[in-house]
Structure 1
Amino acid sequence: MIEFNSFTLDNGLRVIVHEDKSVQTAVLNIIYDVGSRDEDPEKTGFAHLFEHLMFGGSKHIESYDEPLQQAGGENNAFTTPDVTNYYMTLPYQNLETGFWLESDRMLSLSFDPQVLETQQKVVIEEFKQRYLNQPYGDLWLKLRPLAYNTHSYQWPTIGKEISHIEEATMEDVKSFFYKHYIPNQAILVVAGNVDTEQVKELANKWFGPIPAGAPYKRALPKEPRQNERRFFEIQEDVPTDVLTMAFHMPGKYDPDYNAVDLISDILGREKSSRLYQKLVKDETYFSSINSYITGSIDPGLLVISGQVADSVSIEEAEKKVWGVIQDFLDHGIEAEELEKVKNQAESTLVFSEVEILSRARSLAFAALSGNANYVNEEGELIQSVTQEKIASLAPEILRETNCSVLYYKAKEKKI
């Protein structure tokens, strides 16, 4: 159970406080309700670019990292298709330093042209190194537009292409900032050795004067139901063939989400899973294979991905995966197997909340759904999944007409 208090400032900033006097640190986690799904299709990669720009100096503070380090703190950030999340950990005695730093960059960035140019170069280099110049790096650049025809999940957080970052102007940057990086688009979680009244005082002092922005009303196109198998093939200089299969599934806060998550665990979580036992251990069609979900807020993907064994064709490997899926659909799941994957999932959840920073992050994500107490309900939701629910959902999710298949082939593979 993660206990918390919450309040909202007049400018719309939602604040959540999780007190834990057993630690000597404080955490500030601020989540902005903007990710790559909110970008203009012709100007992608902006949410991720801002992950970098937010460390490049703000209205009154030239360097973000230096004063934080002097206060004994450390920080980082990440961007997803749904959100941008910034977090810091510092000694609880220096909590106000965190409020000062975070509030100043919410008030306004420095909008220094040199900072923009520098961070554009950093992001472009990251695009090249992670997505273009390493084996399988562009897999998701190909898979997303294959699986999504309409929704803005069709491009990754890095963006569709380098030119979108190269051509970003200061006017573009300012427009994106004042649309999304505003108090009424953010949730601040303060956790650790803190006091709720102290946090209220600091929040009003540092964030209270920041004006609210115009409400952002998200109106993303809904991805239509997929009714045909989709296929794409790549052939590159990579070590071995990789098969990737993506099935549409419900979003994070849909009532059926946890059941589909467990279906992915049954198929491909760890070495006791069905795909691994059958296709790696018993019959060596793959050298490795797993199944996972993207976990997105809007309807996401259940993904099966595996490295095909050298002596096997990728076409035959795909057939074998469908064989495991069909066996699952035909015979269902025994109570003991379901209990095992439910306990594994709940254990992962419990262990993820050991660290104070993880608890703060979980609270921020839950609050974004409109129900911060979701962090305390998720375990029960996992345990409430029944064999009947699995049996009813699996045929709808794991149908061939709901699948996007990507063959990433090695040029020199010998069968």
Structure 2
Amino acid sequence: MSDASRTFLFLVGDGMGDWPMDELGGKTALQAAHTPNMDRLAGLGLTGLCRTVPDTMPPGSDVANMALMGFDPIVHHTGRGPIEAAAQGLELGENDLVFRLNLVTVSEFSADGVMRDYSSGHIKTEDATALLEKLSTELADLMGDDFEFYPGVQYRHLLVARDAADGPLSDLFTNPPHDILDQPIVNDITEFEEYPELHAVLKKAAEILASPDNPTKANALWPWGQGRPLILPPFVQTYGMRGAVISAVDLVKGLGRAAGMRVMDIEGATGLLDTNYEGKVQAALDFINGGGELVFLHVEAPDECGHGGVASEKVESIERFDKRIVGPLMDALWESNAAFLLGCDHFTPIAERTHTKDPIPFVLAWKGCENPSGVAEYSEAAAASTGLMIDPGFELIGWALTESGLREKKK
């Protein structure tokens, strides 16, 4: 094995943060969950809060995870779509405009419609790919050379508008569909109508998806989060460590790929409760055994459960993260003096079913930490009690590397 004293594990439970809930006896999902491994880390290390989302930006996973990886989103962020395009390795022109494209379920694709499901019932990847291939064929005349679909994973896909970055489409604003669950879509439809070529594609797509031949819940396309292609500085040059990214979602993979990190694909990684936890742990250990130094391991399930609005499922997702990710990695690496940074990217409160800007709780722990914060658990309240705040959030990883002795302090 490589010298684990030079090993850094950044473990991210997407959307774990939450607010106290009556149904959990006034506790948050983190407080209600049985998390002995995360609580142990909190007792051994430094605990505090980190503001991952700048005041001027929306609390998306794209913004928050970019900050967690150590890059200032105010400087580098161009949109959600470009990050996921980086994950797919798409060849883009500098003036192309890339949208994230969800397959969604709406009551109807009109000003009278309501957003029912941002994921079309967590549509299977193979079903989604077949739908997009069908739409590409049947919409060819409307799309011409201006628009192109790129299938992704489950409900997450891309729409590229060629040579459109300097045109009016760059000004389009539609809500992320997970932000408007069970809400009217009139404002978004009105926005789409301001761009007739795109609206014509979306309207016709909804008509095609309404066919009885469509066995899925997907009945509309929803483009959002557009921007120019993403460019990030190399992670190894910025932080002096060879890093890898382990995640089920293209968003996180794209950030890693854009930063020149190794992106590890895990069979059976779904982004849901049933993801391949053991495969992610083994991939992390394989990378370290092969001489890697830093692993950014991301689990999407708590965020998906937060969007789903079921408290018991979010508690279960956190318990699985603790038992099947944090515990095994501590067992394998703690005695070798690896450093562990534990956190989430943003809150996804059950009450809101979408992201909020609350500062996230984090723990930094390593064997021999001389002045731990003295808290007994990993939770929002425990983190707030210490008075430690990292703001802006993109400084967290650099601070953690320095505090844990993996990077020299600046003189």
TM-score where L is the length of structure 1: 0.26
Larger Rg: 1
Greater relative contact order (CA < 8 Å, ≥ 6 in sequence): 2
Q: TM-score, normalised by structure 2?
A: 0.26
Query: Where is the helix percentage greater, Structure 1 or Structure 2?
Result: 1
